[in-house]
Structure 1
């Protein structure tokens, strides 16, 4: 993946150096594997719907827990893919442009939230 997959108005690290008044506003990054990500998310939606049906149908608790674990693993995989895109694009560019201290702090904050 190259940095060119990110829009110039992407996350703070990918923009042109100007900071908007609201740092969360207009942050956009073009995901390089958007179609694959959307397919995975649709599959996860289907799994969650299946779990809801299992609960409605009074299915065995262990079977429901197994499916919940599968959904959690699938979400983790999507999260890791997006985290990789962010690190390889946005954070890398910030480090090259200005040392990236703020972007590295943000990255570590995201990782801390992910592992809780």
Structure 2
């Protein structure tokens, strides 16, 4: 596992812990704004993890596919992901 994937994994593990904390906050009937702030924090971690994974994919899988003359499908995949990001 390379460094970018390791970073993404750590971000996802951190997100998992924060989600468990958010669940506990809701069970404990904590203040809604505090819960919302924690949800936003997890969303930011998930976005960062996703960007790390996509960065790794572009630098390796897409690059290799382009060099082998088979990049169109990989490029289409990335465009579809970007489309989901901007919606």
What's the TM-score, normalizing by structure 1? 0.67
Where in structure 2 are the equivalents of 1:64-75 lying within 5 Å?
Answer: 64-75=35-46
Structure 1 vs Structure 2 CA RMSD: 1.5
Match of 1:109 in 2: 80
Q: Which has the higher helix share?
A: 2
| 1:30-69 → structure 2 map (5 Å cutoff) | 31-33=1-3, 34-69=5-40
Please give the secondary structure, in 2, of the residue aligned with 1:98: coil
Which stretches in structure 2 are left out of the alignment for 5+ residues? Answer: none
Consecutive unaligned residues in structure 1, runs of 5 or more: 1-30
Shift of 1:106: 1.1
Aligned residues of 2:7 and 2:49 also touching (Cα < 8 A): no
Which protein has the larger Cα radius of gyration, Structure 1 or Structure 2?
Answer: 1
Give the TM-score taking structure 2 as reference length.
0.88
